[in-house]
Structure 1
Amino acid sequence: MSNRLKNEKSPYLLQHGDNPVDWYPWGDEAFKKAADENKPVFLSIGYSTCHWCHVMAHESFEDEKVAELLNKNFISIKVDREERPDIDAVYMSVCQALTGAGGWPLTIIMTPEQKPFFAGTYFPKGSRYGQPGLTDILIQVAALWQTRRKELEDNAEMIIDAIVRNGREESGISGTPDKSILAKAYTMFQEQFDRKWGGFGTAPKFPTPHHLLFLMRYAEVEKAPEALKMVEITLEAMARGGIHDHIGGGFSRYSTDKQWLVPHFEKMLYDNALLLWTYAEAYRITRKELYGAVARDIADYMLRELADGGFYCGQDADSDGVEGKYYVFTPEEVKAVLGDEDGEEFCYYYHITDRGNFEGKSIPNTIGNPAEDISDLERHKIWKKQLYDYRLERTRLHKDDKILLSWNAWAIIALVRAGDILGEPSCLEAAVRTKNFIEEKMIDGNQRLYLRFRDGEAANAGQLDDYAVYALALLELYQATFEIEYLSLAVLRAKQMRELFEDREKGGYYMTAFDGETLISRPKETYDGAIPSGNSVAVMVLQKLALLTAERTWQEAAERQMRFCAGEIQRYPVGYSFALMALTMAFYPHRELVCAVKERIPEELKQYVSQYGADDISVLVKTEKNEEELLKYAPFTAEYPVPETEPAYYLCENGTCKMPVTSEVVKTWILGNNPDIL
């Protein structure tokens, strides 16, 4: 038995291709059939590595009786939220408005005109513990559709009106950005901080790396050691906990408890990319070996498990239908692999016990170990490799092998930053390979971006996140290599971002392009949730381009976006940590450095950028070869002649430019660990 999902590329949709439910993919065919047959639409949204999506599938969508109810009374549609984040955003806002909560699987029932009148998340097959069952819901809705359809349609209209009205009201808010927003956010982070275990709030705890990136930036610009302390407590606690895969590397999506011990075991590319950036940045600031070791561990995981031209989405929490089975051990298993003596030492160090810490087995962790024992000893590497190989043979994880453009752009950013900071050329090489993959596989004949690539097919029009994050990734590649190609491509994608998504009337950027598919509402996401929003990334891209090029067009676009973001941020600053990072570039002193050199880019310049970071300085390199191209993007560099002999460095700060200096001065600047020498 199979349905229409068997012809799809999405791993999530393919997981449901053999269901007895007569699923349709999202599209005109399904809605036309619903209209022709006068049936409501049952919409289910999830993703392939989602544990509760699997549970609902096994309980309900593989069940003949549930399928009979759906097939008789509804037209059923499955959507992969990662392939269609716009559809997910629209209907998640409905669920949150109606129920006060959201999550996946997302369950929506709506009219053939796509107007929802019922929303929820996971439902068991039958009612239990006061929670309604899916079969009861389907029976009741089918009856209401026959007897009180007008009432359901009126409710749907009211829901749509409220969602659209709320969107208009939120889009109309703007503000005047100033440093007080940053201070307010910092105070709120202090209030929510768990001083024992790190992180913010109580269980479940999410890593939310952009919170930590903002706090590190705030610590530097405001000389606030407490901000850095919050970051360090969190990073160390996460590194020790079970959320960190001590055997195979990388991090799970979140912890179910406050001490980061028991994770929800799925691993996502975006989490690991953002955590790679965060641990590398912490190493840059503190030079503590723990952070460098964890950053290398994450990069190794990403390159080993997820890389194939581009990077795959992630890995499942379940194996053999059991959550976490892949990750847990018993002392007997460990000793069988490592031998009694080494196995006993490993179990002691990583807390593998007979009692266990997760359903009778143990998640490896180093919680409570002395700080000096955190170092990655050579024999521990050998033991981990042996257990990793054993784990691969014992059971396998499902891997979502879609390649999403925006998530791959986050991987590029993280790999560039980590490669620079850690001195790991392999990271930069991987970032360049990923950029090349995107350029070769995920761009159409009109130079527009695709959102997804899988099994030889690129599909779905790129959305705001794809253009914004990719533009930022290209700027990071430029800052690391000073290859003019990356700056040229970054400008192209940023221009397209403005043309396709910017709301010139009310500010901000829509999630979908003006010429894209029409849904019941047009989302404009600003909240920095699990991933920074496209609007937050947009303000960083625009601000970086304004500082790099000194062009009024970019400066004005950056100011518009900062005003828009400021209006959003004022309500709940800690929900916009990535946007706050971008605002620091405008609020605090920033330097612009032009290196004019005949041919070869000086090593001391690359060394400076890698050693001191790229957040408070914008660097352009002008050579004889790239001069003509560079003038297109930064006309002001016409005033800086390329010297015949050694490089000349021109530094500007706070609107004042200094006399050019030579390489010897820059070397002294770096070796003296004093970035103020110039």
Structure 2
Amino acid sequence: MDPRMKNNLGGSTSPYLRQHADNPVHWQQWGPEAMEWARERNVPILLSIGYSACHWCHVMAHESFENGDIAAVMNDNFVCVKVDREERPDIDAVYMNATVAMTGQGGWPMTCFLTPDGSPFYCGTYYPPAPRGGMPSFIQLLEAIAETFANRRGEVDDAASSIVTELARASGGIPYSGAPIDAALLDAAGQAVLADEDLPRGGFGGAPKFPPSALLEGLLRQFERTGSNNILGGLQRTGEAMARGGIYDQLGGGFSRYSVDAEWVVPHFEKMLYDNALLLRFYAHWARRTGSELAARITEETAGFILGDLRTENGCFASALDADTNGVEGLTYVWTPSQLIDALGEDDGRWAAELFRVTDDGTFEDGASVLQLLSDPDDWSRWQKVSDALRAVRKYRPQPGRDDKVVTAWNGLSITALTEAGLALNRPEWIDAARVCAHTLLGLHLVDGRLRRASLGGVVGEPAGVLEDYAALATGLLALYQATGESEWLDTARQLLDLTLDHFADPAEPGSWFDTADFAESLVTRPRDPMDGATPSGASTVTEALLTAAALTEPERASLYAQAVSDSLARATLPLERAPRSAGHWLAVAEASLRGPIQVAVVGDGDLLDAARRLAPGGAVIVAGEPDSSPLLADRPLVDGAQAAYVCRGFVCDRPVTDEAGLALALAH
């Protein structure tokens, strides 16, 4: 028997792949060996893409991949390849584009059939084990694909060639408008977003509702520039609706991936690191800017969730908590009135049921309810006692699995969020945690000067880092540099950004970025997606990092970075004009760029640094130190021997100020 006729996922660094290591399917990992085997056997590749916290991925695994009869059909007719979309976002992007092009929609699990060279010819998502709702059974699909490949190979090759041609055509960059970012463009983008607001319920558009994390940050920065109460009201309504709804874990902190309804009541229970990092950043900035007690509480609790539930042994952060517990969605989190009474006693149980909107009919399944906190309790001490008691009970329930994979980009987002939140709420221990994470990432994921995408249990995987990995980590390191003054973070960030300019920028289209490096594995197309989604795009994130770094580095390199920012933003004008809800992080970066970005250099000892961090808008660059200790502090003397702050916008600087009132005035104009 061919030694490849076995399941080869057990040694993977992906928890998702390891979840399938006991399947009777002869799963292979992605690579040239699998393609060569498909060529030798003259069979198609069955590519299955998902991730560990995905509910429907688990469903299809239980229904089909653990079924011996279905596995036999798969093994006999295909080379079966399993891919973790979080470990290989490049592969996921290519075949997701193909799936959407063929079916009009995408999602996970993704099921694609490829020729032995990797060209897709038929794609879909979830397939049931028996015909259902107009869908064929998975085994019917397998048999039809195998028969078509064997007997109509010419048609298969023609279809695959046509699809690859279309993918290549669609993967071009956004047209270069040449128009500079201006206030009118950004104001119009903000108003277009608010026109889609679900006013009664918060958020934008209908169900399902995903947290618009980067978009909220962009709107907050627009409020800081314009003072528009309309903008502030929109972001506050959404921020409060999410924080009070079931999408937020009212006992343990942290946000689920999305709400299945328009009211934010019932979540899809998986908790992703990237969502919580991005939302931590937004709520911290909202608390800092407005003094909102709700925003401050959510910041504290979300940071506590990241540090308590997602921190790994080496000080980095795990990717996700599973959507399921023992195969059941929500088992850990939902409550009935009787369960509350059992846990708290009659009086507190009924009080908690009313407070958390736990009803006899339930808001979820089987009469259970997801906890909400639609208004503040009338007695916070009682709420604290009740919450502590319910957490203690919940601790002994079965718990969701955790994906311990450490993803570079998402840890970069966490470094940024923890650092900025630590400054906003005066929590230096959060900055210390970000520092530990950064040290670990650079020691483990930076291999021969290039980033790797992910690690598991202190073992780094082979997949190369993509653009978002370099960009998000560089952004986090620049935040750490501003918070600590430690030059190692700035030096490494500049190394990462220099590499992105050399290997990810499209030399034929200034301002356009590929998501994979020119030294990475070649796929049927080279992915490039500048639009922001659940996470900011690599293109918008690297633009943010370059914008910050340009203010912190020597003139020659700063000019190079600034030109890259200008070119990138010139391509962002079309998304901001035509699809601003899909350009939330571009809005945040553009708002910072429009103001210079604002740079504050503080020399000498005193209280001006704390004032600058409290008063400056999001995206501002703030450093402190002795005169001439860094490029932004060059030629910045003390004033009459006392501390001074220098406020600059782009290449224009105000006169130095020596007190908080003067600083506030300088930042306001």
TM-score, length-scaled by structure 1: 0.93
Partner of residue 333 from structure 1, selected from 323, 327, 339: 339
Give the C-alpha shift of residue 606 in structure 1: 3.0
Deviations along 1:172-216, one digit per CA (max 9) or x if unpaired, are: 544413334323322321221000110000111111211111111
Return the offset for 1:257: 0.7
Compared with structure 1, are the counterparts of its residues 378 and 303 closer, same or farther at alpha carbon in structure 2 (3 Å cutoff)? farther
2:645 is aligned to: 649
Change beyond 3 A, Cα 1:501–1:301: same
Q: Which stretch of structure 1 is more off in the superposition, 474-483 or 44-53?
A: 474-483
**AA aligned opposite 2:458:** G
Aligned 1:161-560 pairs, distance under 5 A: 161-168=165-172, 170-179=173-182, 180-308=184-312, 309-366=315-372, 368-369=374-375, 373-374=376-377, 377-444=380-447, 446-459=448-461, 460-507=463-510, 508-549=512-553, 551-560=558-567
> C-alpha displacement at 1:248, in angstroms?
1.2
Secondary structure of 2:10's match? helix
Q: For structure 1, list consecutive stretches of 5 or more residues without a partner in the other structure.
A: none
Q: Within 1, Cα distance between the matches of 2:97 and 2:667?
A: 49
1:564 is matched with which residue? Answer: 571
Q: Look up the equivalent residue of 1:619 and give its one-letter code.
A: I
Q: Percent identity?
A: 37
For residues 522 and 475 of structure 1, the distance between their equivalents in structure 2, rounded to whole angstroms, comes to 29
What is the DSSP-based 3-state SS (H/G/I as helix, E as strand, rest coil) of the residue aligned with 1:515? coil
CA contact (8 A) 1:41 1:77 kept: yes
What is the DSSP-based 3-state SS (H/G/I as helix, E as strand, rest coil) of the residue aligned with 1:595? strand
Q: CA deviation at 1:538?
A: 1.4
Matched AA of 1:331: P
Among 659, 662, 669, the residue aligned to 1:666: 659
Superposed CA RMSD: 2.2
Alignment of 1:616-655 (within 5 A): 617-623=620-626, 627=629, 630=630, 634=631, 637-641=633-637, 645-653=641-649, 655=651
CA distance in 2, matches of 1:291, 1:615: 16
3-state SS of the aligned residue for 1:6?
coil
> How far did 1:332 drift?
2.1
Task: Look up the equivalent residue of 2:587 and give its one-letter code.
Answer: L
Residues 418 and 115 of structure 1: CA distance in aligned 2, closer, same or farther (over 3 Å): same
- Residue 476 of structure 1 and its aligned partner are, at CA, apart by 1.2
Contact kept? 2:189, 2:577, Cα under 8 Å: no
1:181–1:573 Cα contact (<8 Å) kept: no
Is 1:615 the counterpart of 2:618? The answer is yes
Whole-Å Cα distance in 2 between the matches of residues 26 and 215 of structure 1? 40
Deviation at 1:594, TM superposition (A): 2.8
**Residue equivalent to 1:81:** 85
TM-aligned CA distance change 1:70 to 1:590, over 3 Å: closer
Deviations 1:415-450 (A, max 9, x none): 111111111222111111111111222211x22112
CA distance in 2, matches of 1:280, 1:590: 20
Quick check: 1:213–1:278 contact (8 Å CA) kept in 2?
yes
Matched, 1:104 2:108: yes
1:16 counterpart residue number: 20
Amino acid in the other structure paired with 2:572: C
- Counterpart amino acid of residue 37 in structure 2: K
More displaced 10-residue stretch of structure 1: 377-386 or 192-201:
377-386
Q: 1:590 to 1:450 in 2, by over 3 A?
A: closer
CA contact (8 A) 1:173 1:568 kept: no
| CA distance 1:525–1:616, change in 2 (3 Å) | closer
Deviations 1:388-427 (A, max 9, x none): 2322212121100001110001111111111111112221
Alpha carbons of structure 1 residues 533 and 677: separation in structure 2 relative to 1, 3 Å: closer
8 A Cα contact 2:529 2:537, kept in partner = yes
Distance in 2 of aligned mates of 1:110 and 1:186: 42
Deviations 1:320-358 (A, max 9, x none): 111111111122222222222222221221122222111
**Matches of 1:537 and 1:618 in 2, distance apart?**
16
Report the 3-state secondary structure (helix = DSSP H, G, I; strand = E; otherwise coil) of the residue aligned with 2:607: helix
Amino acid at match of 1:161: T
AA aligned opposite 1:386: A
8 Å contact kept, 1:171–1:506 = no
- Tell me, yes or no, if the aligned pair for 1:480 and 1:609 is still in contact at 8 Å: no
Which segment is superposed worse, 190-199 or 355-364?
Answer: 355-364
Query: Relative to structure 1, is the Cα distance of residues 676 and 462 closer, same or farther in structure 2, using a 3 angstrom cutoff?
Result: closer
Q: Structure 1 residue 298: deviation in Å?
A: 0.6
Asked whether the 8 Å contact 1:217–1:581 carries over to 2, the reply is: yes
The amino acid of 2:582's aligned partner reads G
- Change over 3 Å in CA distance of 1:374–1:188 after alignment to 2: farther
1:648 to 1:229, Cα distance in 2 relative to 1, 3 A: closer
The more displaced of 91-100 and 325-334 is 325-334
Distance 1:448 1:56 in 2: 36
Residues 97 and 375 of structure 1, relative CA distance in 2, 3 Å threshold: farther
- Residue type of the partner of 2:647? L
Classify the secondary structure of the residue corresponding to 2:171.
helix
Q: Which amino acid aligns with 2:275?
A: D
Q: Report how far residue 379 of structure 1 moved.
A: 3.1
Q: 1:367 deviation in Å?
A: 5.5
Give SS of 2:21's match: coil
User: How much does 1:537 deviate?
Assistant: 0.8
Whole-angstrom distance in 1 between the partners of 2:72 and 2:597: 64
Give the corresponding residue for 2:607: 604
The offset of 1:647, in angstroms, is 3.4
Unaligned 5+ runs, structure 2: none
* Count of residue pairs brought into register by the alignment: 657
**Aligned amino acid, residue 647 of structure 1:** Q
Matched to 2:591, the amino acid is: T
Distance 1:610 1:376, change over 3 A: farther
What is the rounded CA distance, in whole Å, between the counterparts of 1:516 and 1:619 in structure 2? Answer: 35
CA distance in structure 1 between the partners assigned to 2:501 and 2:615 by the alignment: 31
Structure 2 CA distance, aligned partners of 1:336 and 1:649?
Answer: 59
Alignment partners' CA distance in 2, 1:4 and 1:348? 52
Secondary structure of the 1:45 match is: strand
Amino acid at match of 1:80: D
Distance 1:246 1:591 in 2: 37
User: Who is 2:130 aligned against?
Assistant: 126
